DNA sequence: CTGTATATTGTACTAATTGTATCATTGTAT
DNA sequence: ATACAATGATACAATTAGTACAATATACAG
């Protein structure tokens, strides 16, 4: 079984509960096609082991996603992305996932004591250099960053 | 976990409140590099037990430090030193930490398939709404803009 | 093919750890 | 004596972990 490794990056100091981070990131990955309808997610225990958290924390995240019909959890079988995410929800989800990601980023930056101006400037600069790098070599494909 | 033992010397006769002494000494240790950003502090109960004081006294000290964003307390999780660099730390370090943070954010956003334009727009919007929220009513009320 | 044992998977309930809120007690200055 | 600040006691809330269980799939004996 090709279980999605589901590369999630948790920040244990961010102040956001682990389960919220898991929910957000799975939503993001679905909204952007990294996860697709029908995909099987890792089992609660497998993902928990990978993330070094208790499997009930993952189960809680899965349950939240299940409640909004984004995934379908089936006892004894596994957890799957729902087949038909309502199309109008899809774009909304995508937008929300970027909102959540950005929110996390800005919140963290402010927590670190940076000003609005500094953050805005840094984002502009970074986006610009990123774009330049991508112009020469447009390969979104191999953008799977590896972690240990 | 490597909980900092956080050797604090309390003077019960000094006339300074315990919580003030705790606040001062944690600030000192942070300024001297004994405590570093990201470090987890002892729990209110653990430190209280070690210092032989009530845990609410420690909680009070932690709350004061939290209000000035020196530490970040999270119910159910613990207490951590913020990444906020002390004023005497070089501007270079400060810049580097924002660069790294932004880099991670943008990298993640692109990995999720968002475009440069989407990311830029979302950051602008978020910064704007954040500013507005802070302008009209900072519910923290304790907006210490006075640096010490 | 069928029935049963076993493993795998999610669920439910509970416990433990952490910080928060509120009020009571104590000590001291006026 | 009164007022107020410091500290302590108690109850609560949020997060995560532990344990037992139910549903399903799989392997295998017959």
What percent of chain A lies above the pLDDT cut of 70? 80
Residues of A in contact with B112 (CB under 8 A): 28-29, 31-32, 34, 97-98, 101
Q: Examine the pLDDT at A134 and tell me if it is beyond 70.
A: no
Structural domains in chain A (count): 1
Tens digit of pLDDT for each residue in B74-89? Answer: 989 999 998 755 554 5
Which of B98, B108, B116 has the CB atom closest to A131's CB atom? B116
What is the per-residue pLDDT for B31? 86
Residue A22's CATH number? 1.10.10.10
The answer to whether some atom of strand C lies closer than 7 Å to the beta carbon of A45 is: yes
Tens digit of pLDDT for each residue in A30-65? Answer: 888 888 899 999 999 999 999 999 999 999 999 999
Residue A146 lies in a domain: no
Look at B98 and A111 and tell me if their CB atoms are within 8 Å. no
**CA A9 to chain centroid:** 8
**B23 with B68, same domain?**
yes
**B77 with B95, same domain?**
no
Residues of A in contact with B111 (CB under 8 A): 34, 143-145
Look at A120 and B124 and tell me if their CB atoms are within 8 Å. yes
Residue B8 lies in a domain: no
Alpha-carbon span B110 to A146, nearest angstrom:
15
* Ramachandran assignment for A138, one of left (phi > 0), alpha (psi -120 to 50 degrees), beta (any other): beta
Residue A47 lies in a domain: yes
Of residues B90 and B70, more confidently modeled = B70
Domain range enclosing B64: 18-81
């Amino acid at each position: 079984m090709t279980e999605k490794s589901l590369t999630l990056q948790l920040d244990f100091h961010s102040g956001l509960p682990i389960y919220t981070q898991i929910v957000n990131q799975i939503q993001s990955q679905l909204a952007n096609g990294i996860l697709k309808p029908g995909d099987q997610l890792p089992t609660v225990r497998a993902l928990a082991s990978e993330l070094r958290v208790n499997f009930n924390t993952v189960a809680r995240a899965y349950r939240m996603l299940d409640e909004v019909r984004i995934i379908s959890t089936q006892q004894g079988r596994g957890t799957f992305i729902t087949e038909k995410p309502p199309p109008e929800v899809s774009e909304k989800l995508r937008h929300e996932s970027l909102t959540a990601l950005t929110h996390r980023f800005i919140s963290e930056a402010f927590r670190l004591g940076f000003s609005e101006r500094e953050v805005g400037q840094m984002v502009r600069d970074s986006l610009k250099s990123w774009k330049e790098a991508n112009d020469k070599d447009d390969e979104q494909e191999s953008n799977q960053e590896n972690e240990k």
